[in-house]
Amino acid sequence: MLYCVEMDVAIPHGLDPDHVARLKADEKARAQDLQRQGKWLHLWRVAGRYANISVFDVESHDELHDILSGLPLFPFMTMRVTPLARHPSAIG
Ligand SMILES: O=C(O)CC1=CCC(=O)O1
């Protein structure tokens, strides 16, 4: 099942910079692990915003929820999830 997920990141001012750097490094490692597993198919920066648009390929709503809620930056992200269905005009 494919899902488009838009993630907006808002890290509160005043958080310990070392802690923030660790969270970002952990987020990157987790995102790259999920890409290698074929679950995180696309990861694009939204130009001009601290946000990304991603496409996930997972088995269920529950698996997607587990992945998203387990991301290190999850407490600081607002997510908008859109389930994707095949477009009848798509040739791919
Ligand atoms: O920077 C972001 O958009 C948040 C994020 C998701 C995966 C990652 O490595 O960073």
Across the chain, mean pLDDT equals 98
d(CA 11, CA 50): 10
pLDDT tens digits for 40-77?
Answer: 999 999 999 999 999 999 999 999 999 999 999 999 99
Name the CATH superfamily, with its identifier, for domain 2-84: Dimeric alpha+beta barrel (3.30.70.1060)
Q: Which two tokens stand for residue 31?
A: 């995102």
Choose the residue to mutate in 5, 20, 28, 52 for probing ligand 1, maximizing ligand atoms within 8 Å of C-beta: 52
Calculate the CA 23 to chain-centre distance: 14
Atom 7 in ligand 1: which residue has the minimum CA distance?
31
Task: Please tell me the pTM assigned to this model.
Answer: 0.96
> How confident is the model at residue 92, as a pLDDT?
79
Q: ipTM score here? A: 0.98
